[in-house]
Amino acid sequence: MTDRQRLWAPWRLNYIASARKGEPKGCLFCQKGKQSPNSRNLVVEKSTHCFSMLNKYPYNNGHLLITPYRHLARLDTLTPAELTDLFALANRSMQKIDKVLHPEGYNLGINMGRVAGAGIPGHIHLHIVPRWPGDTNFMPVIPGVKVISQSLAAAHRLLTSSRAR
């Protein structure tokens, strides 16, 4: 390499090898989908075919996950009704977030498969990440450090409050 230095991370090989072993027993989304919305389980809203919940490890305040009740790994396996419900719930969720958190934009994403970044590769889910100017900084380059300016309990209260309706 000319003017660039290499960053060696030999520990990653162990992570990559262990990631190939498959999913942990039980599915978080299947379990949460059977529960009523509350701040302990982070479930915000339930609809006919899908539900929303706060991400326990958020990228930003109000980071939601929208997922179908059925355990499906790919977007193309959803029925038309599930697909419609997924995006209708995503729209309602963004309207709630707009009312109580006032973001200036959003990132939406679906990771299908472990190599695509899916933390739960067997159960598809849509990420809704509210964004504000200046919400990115140098902190993500420090291992294990994230700056989230609102607790999950406070975000849950806001998103389920009468202000969000």
pLDDT tens for 7-63 read: 555 555 664 555 555 544 689 999 999 999 999 999 999 999 999 999 988 888 899
Task: Give how many domains the chain has, as a whole number.
Answer: 1
Tokens of 1: 């390499």
Residue 95 is which amino acid? Q
Residues 6+ away with beta carbon under 8 Å from 65 = 29, 52, 53, 54, 55, 125, 126, 127, 128
Residue 83: per-residue pLDDT: 97
Q: What are phi and psi of 129, to 5 degrees?
A: -115, 110
Kindly report the average pLDDT of the chain as a whole number.
83
Q: Tell me whether residue 94 is in a domain.
A: yes
DSSP state for residue 151 in the 8-state scheme = -
Catalytic-role residue among 49, 123, 125, 156: 125
CA atoms within 13 A on the CB side of 109: 13
Q: Which domain, by its residues, includes 78?
A: 25-164
Give whole-number Cα distances, 146 to 103, 118, 158, in Å. 19, 19, 21
Q: Average pLDDT, stretch 58-86?
A: 95
- H or E stretch including 78? none
Reference 88, options 53, 49, 124, 60; nearest CA is 49
Rounded Cα distance between 34 and 36, Å, is 7
Rounded Cα distance between 95 and 45, Å, is 13
Q: Tell me whether residue 154 is in a domain.
A: yes
125 is catalytic: yes
What's the predicted TM-score (pTM) here? 0.74
Q: What is the CATH number of the domain that holds 42?
A: 3.30.428.10
Q: Tell me whether residue 44 is in a domain.
A: yes
Q: Tell me whether residue 16 is in a domain.
A: no
Q: Average pLDDT, stretch 63-70?
A: 97
For tokens 């379990």, the residue is 31
Strands 43-46 and 50-54 come out as antiparallel
Q: Tell me whether residue 146 is in a domain.
A: yes
